[in-house]
């Protein structure tokens, strides 16, 4: 999928928010990942509601 980088960035942001005590940001990023899955899936001719799976794992923050 050519949009993989979007999920990498969002996943990194989710990891950062979680590790730095930003729960509202983490919640919104998680919602954004779900929206991105649906919209990108629809744009690529996939199902409107792809199966729910955990968000992609981002790079480990040091």
The HSE-up count of residue 45 (CA atoms within 13 Å, CB side) is 1
pTM above 0.85, yes or no: no
> What's the length of the chain?
62
32's enclosing H/E stretch is helix 23-43
Among 41, 38, 7, 13, CA closest to 28: 13
Which residue matches tokens 């999920």? 7
Residue-wise pLDDT tens digits, 14-60: 999 999 999 999 999 999 999 999 999 888 776 544 444 555 566 65
């Amino acid at each position: 999928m050519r949009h993989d980088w979007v999920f990498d960035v969002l996943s990194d942001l989710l990891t950062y928010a979680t590790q730095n005590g930003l729960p509202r940001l983490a919640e919104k990023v998680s919602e954004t990942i779900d929206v991105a899955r649906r919209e990108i899936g629809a744009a690529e001719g996939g199902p409107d509601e792809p199966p729910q799976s955990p968000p992609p794992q981002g790079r480990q923050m040091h």
